Amino acid sequence: MEGDDISEKLLSKVQVEENKVKIKEKILTEWKKMWVTAAPAIFTRFSTFGVNVISQAFIGHIGSIELAAYALVITVLLRFGNGILLGMASGLETLCGQAYGAKQYHMLGIYLQRSWIVLTVTGTLLLPIFIFTTPILKALGQEEAIAEEAGVISLWLIPVIYSFIASYTCQMFLQAQSKNMIITYLAACTLVIHIFLSWLLTVKFKFGMTGAMTSTLLAYWLPNIGQLIYVTSGGCKETWKGFTSLAFKDLWPVIKLSFSSGAMLCLELWYNTILILLTGNLKNAMVQIDALSICLNINGWEMMISLGFLVAVCVRVSNELGRGSAKAARFSILTIVITSFVIGFILFLFFLFLRGRLAYIFTESEDVAEEVDHLSPLLAFSILLNGVQPVLSGVAVGAGWQSIVAYVNIGCYYLVGIPVGVVLGYVFKLQVRGVWIGMLFGVLAQTIVLLVITLKTDWDKQVLIAQERVKKYFVEAEPNSDSQNA
């Protein structure tokens, strides 16, 4: 009997060790899958975001009015258009990811073309905002000099609106297939070209805003041209079968999902836009806008890491749901959320102690740098929340919950965050710090709600919903589609 007990104990220990090895292997396998998507996505977003930061850095040395105007257009108007187009394009992320997981490869090319149709119409409807920027900003209470300069800048950015259509749709199409590296190479080359052209046109030849905006415009379009050539010229043979009339079939379900996705993301992106607008009506607006735009740029740099994980979790969840594996989807979520949070916590500590020293990269004004120093603790807490909130939003996109999250965003951001920010900023005279604290309350509330939703979700049921969605939108490939490669 004693020998049997010893054997059982040894067998139990062996099983425990085997389970540990299996768990480690499972984690390592998931990390590899995660980083295949996350690493290129992070780098690409750093490069893309770097275009605006580089432009802002050069424009900041042209003049304070130009810097404030550019910051206003980028963070208010361009973010507005960007939010609508990126949000509507995220519907493509859900459809492509789940179709790829279900091995319905030809549907990805059809979804891509449908998205081009919907987003091109939407982008055209946004043009009046950029044409009438000056009167719009004056009506919102912005200073006249800033509004006039912003009107000139916004006209330069009209082609950028159309660049977003190609950029977002091609990226989501390629990411669903884990073909990110081409996007990364193009982004890296563009960043180098943009730095050189910005220096050449603004510093060397002294073309001022004209030089800076010319370089910015080229930086937005060059990678898109490369992506379009790659997609339509044989880089995606399984998923791109050429232009097809099927793109015009069953557009309404795609439009509905696109609008749900747009509402979800717009409500989130416009949240920071309202922060800028509220700041513009406070005392010493120019200094406060400059300081806040610098903080949001730094926060935006860090957000690129979180958005990389957002892409990773979206692709992993949508692929696994389309493939029919609820267990794998749950494990992917857990792994990516923990990884993102750990990175966010490390950066939180870094920026908490760094304070306002980075301000001098963007400005020479001591007043602006001092205001950035005062805002640094709030910046650090924003970065901490970035470690979780975007990843949970990615889970929602991967699962197709955009409509639910849109309602969550309305409640948390607009019924909690903004009212608290207005009271603290205007009633309690905390100025921009009060507005930002209110905004943080909204983000925290949204993070908690999304976490609860994710934890309580029946993922087996989500597999059935995903499979039903794939069947619902499925169309047979055209018999001669293989010969229609563009």
Q: What is the pLDDT of residues 384-417, one digit of tens each?
A: 998 898 899 889 888 888 888 888 888 888 888 8
The pLDDT of residue 12: 55
H helix runs in 231-365, sequence order: 251-280, 285-323, 326-354
The pLDDT of residue 478: 62
pLDDT band at 486 (very low <50, low <70, confident <90, very high): very low
The pLDDT of residue 186: 92
Inform me whether the pLDDT recorded for 119 exceeds 60.
yes
More confident residue, 81 or 250: 81
Inform me whether the pLDDT recorded for 311 exceeds 70.
yes
Across 111-135, average pLDDT: 93
Judge if pTM exceeds 0.85. Answer: no
pLDDT band at 283 (very low <50, low <70, confident <90, very high): low
Inform me whether the pLDDT recorded for 8 exceeds 60.
no
The pLDDT of residue 234: 87
Q: How far apart, in whole angstroms, are the C-alpha atoms of residue 21 and residue 16?
A: 9
Inform me whether the pLDDT recorded for 297 exceeds 90.
no
Q: What is the pLDDT of residues 319-349, one digit of tens each?
A: 999 999 899 999 999 999 999 999 999 988 8
Inform me whether the pLDDT recorded for 39 exceeds 90.
no
The pLDDT of residue 150: 92
Compute CA distances 399 → 54, 100, 150, 159, 457, whole Å.
35, 14, 39, 32, 11
The pLDDT of residue 259: 77
What are the sequence ranges of the domains in the chain?
31-249, 251-476
More confident residue, 226 or 278: 226
The pLDDT of residue 331: 92
The pLDDT of residue 395: 93
Q: How far apart, in whole angstroms, are the C-alpha atoms of residue 234 and residue 298?
A: 38
Task: For residue 278, give the nearest of 377, 417, 447 by alpha carbon.
Answer: 417
- Tell me what the pLDDT averaged over the chain comes to: 84
Q: Give residues with Cβ within 8 angstroms of 417, minimum separation 6.
A: 271, 438, 439, 440, 441, 442, 443, 445
Across 174-198, average pLDDT: 91
Inter-residue contact 361 to 279 (CB < 8 Å): no
The pLDDT of residue 321: 92
When computed from its CA atoms, the radius of gyration of the chain, rounded to whole angstroms, is 24
Across 136-162, average pLDDT: 90
Inform me whether the pLDDT recorded for 24 exceeds 50.
yes
The pLDDT of residue 277: 66
Inform me whether the pLDDT recorded for 482 exceeds 50.
no
The pLDDT of residue 345: 93
The pLDDT of residue 484: 42
Inform me whether the pLDDT recorded for 200 exceeds 90.
yes
The pLDDT of residue 272: 66
Amino acid identity of residue 218, one-letter, is L
Inform me whether the pLDDT recorded for 152 exceeds 90.
yes
Q: Give residues with Cβ within 8 angstroms of 204, minimum separation 6.
A: none
Orientation of helix 2-60 relative to helix 208-230, angle to 10°: 140
pLDDT band at 100 (very low <50, low <70, confident <90, very high): very high
